[in-house]
Amino acid sequence: MIERSRQFETVLALTVCVLVVFGMVAPFGTTSVAADEPDGGWETNDDLEEGMDALLAETMDDHDVAGASVAVVADDEIVHAEGYGYADYEGGEPVDPNETAFAVGSVAKLMVWTAVMQGVEDGTLELDEPVGTYLEDHEFEGDEEVTLEHLGTHTAGYEERLEGLFVDEHEAIDDWEDTLEAEMPARIDEPGETIVYSNHGTGLAGLVVQEALDEPFETYVEDEIFEPLAMEQATFEQPVPDDRTLSKGHVPTDDGFETDDPAIVGVPPAGSMTASATDMGNVAIAKLQDGTFEDAGEETQMLEAASVEAMFEQRATNHPGVDGVGYGYMLSEYRGERLVWHTGGTEYFNTAFVLFPDHDAALFVSFNTPAPGLGDVVDGFMTDGLGVDAEPDREADPATTERAGEYEGEYRLTNVRTSHEKLVTLGSTVTVSVTDDGVLEVTDLTGQTDRWVEVEPGVFEPKSDDDAAFAGTSMAIEDDRLYTNAPGAPYERLSWYETATVQAAVAAVALAALLSTVVVWPATAYRRRGWGRMREHLTRPRTAVLGCVALLVAFLVGLLANATADPLQFAYGYSPWLWLTLAVLPVFAVAAAVAVAAVALEWKRVLETRDLDGASTNRYGLAYLTVLAFALLALVWQLQYWNLVTAAF
């Protein structure tokens, strides 16, 4: 592993944050597997191979992707498996679709839900039974109410959590079960009420499988899923066994790519799996063939047909107007086609696993670079491979303008509410507006705008193919909440004081006011009394405020130093120095209360005597102190709003 550059680590930190709260080199590895081609589109295997090669080359070039692994399934065969680019750029190693394992991230969750359904089939598990029934050595909030049905549909009500999802050392996952119990996020919704994607909820389901079946989770999946499906490279183990070939992670640089080992996942069932393209192709075959898989003439019934059907049917949705979730799978109607899918992402890898049941076809694609572009591959495959064209542009309904007041505003994700990670949801902020011709526009903080057309009151579909994506095909707005396709949590319309602009303005003005004391008070003291009598200027209110300013400066300097030294610790777990920095905040809050009280006492003396002579300063000084008191109140309110006062604990 090379030493990470500062730019490299910053990119990774941002990538990891984007994952919780919410996308060319010449191809190598020409190994391929061919049989029948999928319906429509490409008519021959040569067409399929040439088409996929061109599609991947263009996508990888557009998005600076170092390597990709792809499998296409039709009926009961892998019709195309190909590696593109590098598995290790620095070592010059190409991607092999049969041998090179990629970290598939949350696509690993599909193995958890498959294991659960196997337990249901043999009578060991019941979807509607509280998970506490199966846990003898562990306790979780709500385990007498939360069921495997809730966990598999992400409706258990658990808040999302970033910290601890990835760890620095393999030793940190030796007791992942105990860590999961200790660090399980709070429940913010009643079970069955709202879809809020939960990595830790999947970890809990993996623990239930382990406890109920009396076998380590990784071992069970290896024996009951990987081996029957001939998934020779697949594993949940960390580190990966020596007999497996694992792709490096890559980040683009000016002259190529920097490489590193894949991230260590702190909640293994949620995403520690690595697998090759052909491994995942075999999973797709079993799912498309009603749970059966044939290898070397031997047929395996991995799941009963009824279980597969149950996983593919919609079991929950946040709104009747948006696509929902099956058991572990996400569901979409895209370009008039039914899609059953899951995506996954870690520090360096982005993956999509998409089934097209009506075509008996599937696509697996994984990048070893934290880059967008998966949607481009899915779109290209649907257009050229399956012959499914983009839908024509939709006409806007002018009546939408009459309801603009119900829709317009600033919205933010609600998947984090009680922890300090609420601050990360700032990045999810979107602004909704309605044009004069009735098009609803949704603009994120980067300025990217998607256009939507109202198809029934409060329900919207993309105006054009440019605004659509296989994972984002519908949207609804009702009662100040914006709903997107599962597994996205609802967005909530913000009050004026919660908007990003107001929050930023309040913070900027308050900080500027407080930091101005570093210049204003020394200059005033010198002008009036000279340096020799400086202490006479330090009245109690000023001393209290300066104490707050000192704490604030210490926090800001510490935060900058920690972010510069290791930005990934915000996701991987606090260093002692970061903990110490965050511990300043509750002290600051107490000091601010003392300072505000001191200023209030100044005003009390003035009001009692009805004369400024009772104060320790003149009218201008008292006015300045009052401004500073309000600045302190504003900052403490913001720290409390973002749950930062107790972030160290």
| Final residue before a domain boundary, out of 497, 531, 566 | 497
Task: Note whether residue 246 is domain-resident.
Answer: yes
pLDDT at res. 309:
98
Q: What is the pLDDT of residues 487-533, one digit of tens each?
A: 889 999 999 999 999 999 999 999 999 999 999 888 877 676 554 44
- Same domain for 87 and 224? yes
pLDDT at res. 615:
58
The band of 24, judged by pLDDT with boundaries at 50, 70 and 90, is very low
| pLDDT higher than threshold 60 for residue 575 | yes
Q: What is the pLDDT of residues 36-50, one digit of tens each?
A: 445 557 878 889 999
Task: Note whether residue 190 is domain-resident.
Answer: no
- Same domain for 490 and 510? no
Task: Note whether residue 551 is domain-resident.
Answer: yes
Token pair belonging to 15: 């990538």
DSSP H or E run through 300 = strand 298-301
pLDDT at res. 72:
98
- Same domain for 505 and 624? yes
DSSP 13-44: HHHHHHHHH---PPP--------PPPSSS--S
**Domain range for 456:** 398-497
Name 206's Cβ contacts closer than 8 Å, sequence gap at least 6.
112, 115, 217, 268, 269, 270
Q: What is the pLDDT of residues 311-358, one digit of tens each?
A: 999 999 999 999 999 999 999 999 999 999 999 999 899 999 999 999
pLDDT at res. 27:
24
- Same domain for 480 and 575? no
Task: Note whether residue 122 is domain-resident.
Answer: no
The pLDDT mean for the chain works out to: 90
pLDDT at res. 39:
53
- Same domain for 69 and 81? yes
Query: Is the bond leading into 457 cis (omega within 30 degrees of zero)?
Result: no
- Same domain for 602 and 476? no
- Same domain for 379 and 445? no
Cβ-contact 303, 118 below 8 angstroms: yes
| Final residue before a domain boundary, out of 497, 517, 552 | 497
pLDDT at res. 529:
59
Rounded distance between C-alpha atoms, residue 179 and residue 264, angstroms: 14
How many DSSP H helices and E strands does the chain contain? 18, 24
Q: What is the pLDDT of residues 425-457, one digit of tens each?
A: 999 999 999 999 999 999 999 999 999 999 999
Report the candidate in 535, 537, 543, 541 with the shortest Cα–Cα distance to residue 604.
Answer: 541
| pLDDT higher than threshold 80 for residue 536 | no
Rounded distance between C-alpha atoms, residue 18 and residue 13, angstroms: 9
Task: Note whether residue 118 is domain-resident.
Answer: no
The band of 35, judged by pLDDT with boundaries at 50, 70 and 90, is very low
Where residue 277 sits, what CATH number does that domain have?
Answer: 3.40.710.10
pLDDT at res. 574:
83
- Same domain for 228 and 297? yes
DSSP 589-614: HHHHHHHHHHHHHHHHHHHHHTSGGG
Exposure pattern of 417-455 as b/e (b: 16+ CB <10 Å)? bebbbbbbbebbbbbbebeeebbbbbeeeeeeebbbbbe
pTM listed for this prediction: 0.90
Q: What is the pLDDT of residues 60-118, one digit of tens each?
A: 999 999 999 999 999 999 999 999 999 999 999 999 999 999 999 999 999 999 999 99
Token pair belonging to 418: 């009680």
Place of tokens 């057309």: 453
- Same domain for 465 and 523? no
The band of 537, judged by pLDDT with boundaries at 50, 70 and 90, is very low
- Same domain for 422 and 377? no
Q: What is the pLDDT of residues 163-176, one digit of tens each?
A: 889 998 999 999 99
What mean pLDDT comes out for the span 6-10? Answer: 48
| pLDDT higher than threshold 50 for residue 26 | no
- Same domain for 336 and 449? no
Task: Note whether residue 493 is domain-resident.
Answer: yes
| pLDDT higher than threshold 80 for residue 631 | yes
Rounded distance between C-alpha atoms, residue 424 and residue 421, angstroms: 5
Task: Note whether residue 206 is domain-resident.
Answer: no
| Final residue before a domain boundary, out of 445, 471, 497 | 497
Report the candidate in 343, 318, 393 with the shortest Cα–Cα distance to residue 153.
Answer: 318
Task: Note whether residue 174 is domain-resident.
Answer: no
DSSP 417-470: -SSGGGGGGGGG-EEEEE-TTS-EEEEETT--EEEEEEEETTEEEESSGGG-BT
Cβ-contact 393, 461 below 8 angstroms: no
Number of domains in the chain: 3
